[in-house]
């Protein structure tokens, strides 16, 4: 029997086939799960519906296991409520919820943290942090007794990663949100965790110069390399499965061990050459 056979859930935040959310979703689908997907709303004048098209290219390979693909603006509570109502009608009770949603204005990301605009800070926190609270709250009536919630964080919320700027503050807040939601939902049997992945070539990662970070991880991380989409996908699926039934409020680092290091590791030898 496959790990997710007979399981149903929601995948929120797939942007394209390089998304970490898709790596997790693909593992779930390959393990027999049924998923409902969201996508970013397309602009009214976008005849090609590019946001929907990118996600559709992913899920089209799993027609029997894709319950729906619908737009969702997580900044609109009415849309979130409507989306969850629709999910309940099409899926019934659900076993898992993946939240992989974050955003900050490019201008705010490109400037020093001390220069972050007030409007940009509010926007980044609303989309990247409050959205987890919102979607979890509206999805609660759908949860089966042992349902699991997973979000995506990054090491920049624990330590300062130059260039990550305001998003690092958002990830720190997201990490705290995981713990408080785990406490709220625990008595009902629901779990809330996060995966902290090493740098991967995603839509956001490429824009942030992830290639250089991957080279750096090759020197510093104990495994002497960066991780793959598949490794993160399997780890995320594990936290959404019954195999992790005793784990909640945790941040699972899937980063080839980078987070344990207190020095630049093998990079020190490069400096001495």
List the domain boundaries for the chain: 8-210+228-262
Q: Rg of the chain over CA atoms, in angstroms?
A: 18
Q: Can you say how many angstroms the Cα of residue 161 is from the centroid of all Cα atoms in its chain?
A: 19
Strands of the sheet containing 251-254, edge to edge, are 66-71, 34-39, 8-12, 94-99, 143-153, 191-197, 251-254
Higher-confidence position of 124 and 204: 124
142 pLDDT band, cuts 50/70/90, is very high
pLDDT class of 187 with cuts at 50, 70, 90: very high
Q: Please, are residues 143 and 105 in contact by the beta-carbon 8 Å criterion?
A: no
- Asked if residue 208 has pLDDT above 80, the reply is no
Taking only the tens place, the pLDDT of each residue in 145-160 is 999 999 999 999 999 9
Weakest-pLDDT range from 89-103, 108-122, 207-221, 244-258: 207-221
Q: 42 exposed, middle or buried (CB, 10 Å; 0-12, 13-18, 19+)?
A: middle
Options 3.30.70.890, 3.40.50.720, 3.30.1060.10, 3.20.19.10; CATH for 8-210+228-262 is 3.40.50.720
Query: Would the pLDDT of 207 be above 80?
Result: no
Q: Do strands 66-71 and 34-39 pair parallel, antiparallel, or not at all (unpaired)?
A: parallel
> What local confidence, expressed as pLDDT, does residue 204 receive?
60
Q: What is the pLDDT of residues 15-63, one digit of tens each?
A: 999 999 999 999 999 999 999 999 999 998 888 899 999 999 999 999 9
> Does position 123 have pLDDT exceeding 70, yes or no?
yes
pLDDT at 34: 98
What element of type H or E holds 99?
strand 94-99
**Predicted confidence band at 198 (pLDDT cuts at 50, 70, 90)?**
very high
Mean pLDDT of the chain: 93
The CA angle 253-256-259, to the nearest 5 degrees, is: 50
Please tell me the predicted confidence (pLDDT) of residue 270: 63
Q: How confident is the model at residue 250 (pLDDT cuts 50, 70, 90)?
A: very high
Residues classed as catalytic:
154, 164
What's the predicted TM-score (pTM) here?
A: 0.94
Q: Look at 130-134, 167-171, 197-201, 240-244 and tell me which has the smallest mean pLDDT.
A: 197-201
């Amino acid at each position: 029997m496959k790990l997710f056979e007979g399981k149903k859930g929601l995948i929120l935040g797939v942007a394209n086939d390089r998304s970490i959310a898709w790596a997790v979703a693909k593992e779930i689908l390959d393990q027999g799960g049924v998923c409902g997907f969201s996508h970013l709303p397309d602009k009214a004048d976008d005849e090609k519906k590019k946001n929907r098209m990118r996600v559709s290219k992913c899920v089209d390979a799993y027609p029997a296991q894709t319950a729906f693909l619908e737009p969702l603006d997580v900044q609109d509570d009415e849309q979130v409520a409507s989306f969850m109502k629709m999910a309940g009608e099409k899926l019934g009770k659900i076993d898992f919820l993946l939240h992989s949603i974050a955003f900050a204005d490019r201008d705010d990301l490109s400037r020093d943290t001390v220069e972050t605009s007030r409007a940009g800070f509010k926007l980044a926190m609303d989309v990247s942090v409050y959205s987890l609270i919102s979607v979890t709250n509206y999805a609660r009536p759908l949860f089966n007794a042992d349902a699991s919630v997973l979000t995506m964080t990054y090491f920049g919320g624990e330590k300062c990663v130059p260039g990550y700027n305001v998003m690092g503050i958002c990830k720190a807040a997201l990490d705290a949100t995981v713990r408080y939601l785990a406490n709220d939902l625990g008595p009902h049997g629901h779990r809330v965790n996060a995966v902290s992945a090493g740098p991967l070539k995603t839509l956001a990662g490429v824009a942030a110069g992830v290639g250089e970070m991957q080279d750096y991880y090759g020197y510093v991380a104990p495994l002497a390399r960066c991780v793959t989409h598949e490794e993160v996908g399997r780890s995320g699926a594990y936290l959404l499965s019954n195999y992790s039934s005793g784990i909640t409020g945790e941040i699972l680092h899937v980063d080839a061990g980078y987070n344990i290091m207190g020095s630049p590791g093998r990079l020190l030898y490069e400096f001495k050459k």
